[in-house]
Amino acid sequence: MNRKNYGKIILLMFILLILLIAVFSTMGSANIKVVDTVRIILSEIPVLGDNIDTSDISDSSKIIILNIRLPRVLLGVIVGAALSISGAAFQGIFKNPMADPYIIGISSGAALGAAITIVAKIDFSLLGMSSVSIGAFIGAIAAAFLVYFISRVKNKIPVDNLLLSGVAVGQFFTAVMSFIMVINSKDMSKIIFWTLGSFSGKGWEPFLKTSPPVIIFMIILTFFAKDLNIILTGEEAAQSLGVEVEKTKIYILVICAFITSSVVSVCGIIGFVGLIIPHIVRLIVGPDHRILLPSSALVGGMFMIFADTVARTVISPTEIPVGIITAMFGGPFFIYLLRKRKKTV
């Protein structure tokens, strides 16, 4: 596939994502037409908005779209994109179809780091990052390197080792987080939030704080696409072609840990997105990471806003944590991958 086709596919996915943002922003307990939603959103765009009349749309509809639904949907796009592109990168460096931030324990590590920061009442900022985000990053890095070194055997990471190490590290961090909840009942509700994953009550602030660094690091991650393609041919072959395999793995681990921890610090643990989406996208565009990484990000954003829309509308006005919805899709898919692998062994 040539570069022109790459561009066409990514452009089509981007257009579809924009359309879905408009459609899902209309869905909720208050019924607002798609056309009205699009007009409300476009009216806020400088210059273009001057030519759009929204006087026939109620103020309450404008508030619902601009202050409640739109920031939530956009945050969902960022979170879905972050988890999906990280999952695609992990599957590439580990050469393992089961790898994703949730299964290998990174999400649990990030949640534990955030929980410790909350309980310890640590409050500061560094380079624009809040203390909770920094705590989540430290936890994610700890989990990533623990799993990496525990599962590694003779410079290889077998599937079984990765899964067992990831489950063990993830469960250990979850157990520590549960212990913290027991001894700090005052902060229990805040910590439970991290274990379920939700976009409830999220306005513009978390989106505006989270999206710039996450987008920057996702772009940086795409620069490793060529190295990931070469690593897929074998680590010895990659070394002979000039790729510093171990350094590349560490760089990607740190980048993905930062991306994952940034979104987990905002919305909690949302599992299986990084597992499902790269597989689906790989079937559509192939294994070339030059298109797989950006495509996974775009499709991940679509999937996440779909899952969140289901979470907030299926039993409205009660809201289901979005992590439950993604687990309902991801659990069976994970079992399918395991069974498929058994047949090929």
| pTM for this predicted structure | 0.88
Q: Which domain covers residue 132, as residue numbers?
A: 3-344
- Distance CA(271)–CA(269), nearest Å, equals 6
Burial class (CB in 10 A: 0-12, 13-18, 19+), 344: exposed
pLDDT value, residue 343: 60
Q: Identity (one letter) of the amino acid at 265?
A: S
pLDDT value, residue 128: 65
Q: How many domains does the chain have?
A: 1
pLDDT value, residue 43: 86
Q: What is the DSSP code string of 52-94?
A: ---TTS-HHHHHIIIIIIHHHHHHHHHHHHHHHHHHHHHHHHT
Q: Name the token pair of 33.
A: 């037409």
132 near 265, Cβ under 8 Å?
A: yes
Handedness of CA 124, 126, 130, 132 (dihedral sign): negative
Residues of the chain with pLDDT under 70: 1-4, 127-128, 157, 159, 187, 189-190, 193-194, 341-345
pLDDT value, residue 214: 95
CATH of the domain at 52: 1.10.3470.10
Task: Read off the pLDDT of residues 322-341 as tens digits, 9 standing for 90 and up.
Answer: 988 998 888 888 787 777 76
Residue 228 has a CB neighbour count (10 Å cut-off) of 26
pLDDT value, residue 56: 86
pLDDT value, residue 333: 81
Instruction: Name 125's bridge partners.
Output: 130
Residue 195 has a CB neighbour count (10 Å cut-off) of 17
pLDDT value, residue 4: 65
